[in-house]
């Protein structure tokens, strides 16, 4: 890892600022001059659009949260996945490097194949098993070649108040909506991950930017759980009475293979003595509290 420049947070541009994580990163950077841009303002696949935006805003740091991350569609639209997740990231890194701008990029636990039985740390060998993971890992590699002033933040199982831009809901919301409508809940019990609340992920990213070093970081809520146990905890914390049936991934045919174990160890944050994220239960509790507060607002 390389030491960061002291003025790296002088002015920040967040690409994908209207998205689930991007919107919370903008909020987390309170007190720092931050410009959020969305697809209507910057086309991540257009080098000319990127260059124009950066020349206008003159940031010291760009945080890229834009991605083509519908895992199923990536399998059937591989060219599009690599265009957004690899080629566009390569162009962004080249432009930032030439302008002396540091770059932070959001990646994923899907760069790993899930064959491990203990959390993957930042030095673990990547081995993606689907197009989404492959395109994101290729983006990491091209970025690291094009610039040395970079952060890569790998996350897992994100959920937040803004919701998913591709699905229109989060897993948490889907479980609550199905339970309250009386529909049966069948949830897989053979995939282990670390569901992570975007507000807390964004806070961890800020702490890394303020006191860390360039490099790769895993930024997830602590601990691990199956989707089934996550669903049970969602209903329990929400006071919703509903039964949840265990099932396996085989019950839900999919174009994309998914890692059965994708828990990330936050070793780089620990080494840098950066405050870690709370465990996933605390993240869920905080999300449900924010959700209730937002519903109660006029």
Token reading at 125: 């060998």
Strand order in the sheet with 12-15: 2-3, 213-218, 150-155, 102-108, 61-64, 12-15, 34-37
Q: Is 169 a catalytic residue?
A: no
Taking the CA atoms of 8, 57, 107 and 48 in sequence, report the sign of the dihedral they define: negative
Helices (H), the chain: 20-28, 47-57, 71-76, 78-82, 88-99, 131-146, 171-180, 198-211, 227-238, 267-271, 280-296
For 239, the token pair is 């006071």
| Cα separation, 159 vs 169, whole angstroms | 9
Per-residue pLDDT of the chain (298 residues; tens, 9 = 90+): 555 555 899 999 999 999 999 999 999 999 999 999 998 899 999 999 999 999 999 999 999 999 999 999 999 999 999 999 999 999 999 999 999 999 999 999 999 999 999 999 999 999 999 999 999 999 999 999 999 999 999 999 999 988 655 555 789 999 999 999 988 899 999 999 999 999 999 999 999 999 869 999 999 999 999 999 999 999 999 999 999 999 999 888 888 999 999 999 999 999 999 999 999 999 999 999 999 888 765 6
d(CA 136, CA 154) in angstroms, rounded, equals 10
Q: Which of 132, 217, 261, 287 is catalytic?
A: 132
What the block records as the tokens of 37 is 């841009």
Asked if 96 contacts 62 with a C-beta cutoff of 8 angstroms, the reply is: yes
């Amino acid at each position: 890892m390389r030491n960061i420049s002291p003025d790296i947070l002088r002015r920040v541009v967040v690409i994908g600022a209207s998205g689930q994580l991007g919107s919370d990163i903008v909020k987390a950077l309170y007190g720092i001059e931050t410009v959020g841009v969305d697809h209507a303002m910057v086309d991540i696949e257009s080098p000319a659009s990127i260059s124009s935006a950066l020349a206008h805003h003159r940031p010291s740091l760009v945080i890229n949260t834009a991605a083509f991350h519908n895992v199923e569609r990536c399998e059937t639209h591989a060219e599009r996945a690599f265009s957004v997740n690899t080629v566009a990231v390569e162009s962004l890194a080249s432009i930032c490097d030439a302008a002396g701008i540091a770059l932070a990029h959001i990646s994923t636990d899907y760069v790993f194949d899930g064959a491990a039985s203990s959390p993957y740390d930042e030095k673990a060998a990547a081995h993606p098993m689907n197009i989404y993971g492959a395109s994101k890992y290729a983006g990491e590699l091209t970025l690291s070649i094009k610039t040395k002033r970079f952060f890569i933040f790998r996350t897992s199982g994100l959920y937040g108040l803004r919701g998913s831009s591709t699905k229109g809901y989060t897993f948490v919301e889907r479980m609550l909506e199905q339970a309250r409508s009386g529909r049966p809940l069948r949830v897989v019990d053979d995939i282990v991950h670390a569901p992570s609340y975007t507000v807390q992920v964004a806070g961890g990213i800020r702490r890394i930017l303020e006191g860390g070093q360039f490099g790769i970081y895993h930024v997830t809520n602590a601990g691990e759980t199956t989707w089934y146990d996550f669903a049970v905890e969602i209903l329990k914390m929400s006071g919703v009475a509903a039964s949840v049936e265990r099932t396996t991934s085989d019950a839900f045919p999919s174009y994309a293979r998914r890692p059965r174990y994708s828990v990330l160890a936050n070793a780089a944050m620990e080494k840098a003595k950066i405050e870690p994220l709370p465990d996933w239960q605390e993240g869920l509790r905080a999300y449900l509290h924010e959700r209730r507060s937002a519903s109660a607002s006029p």
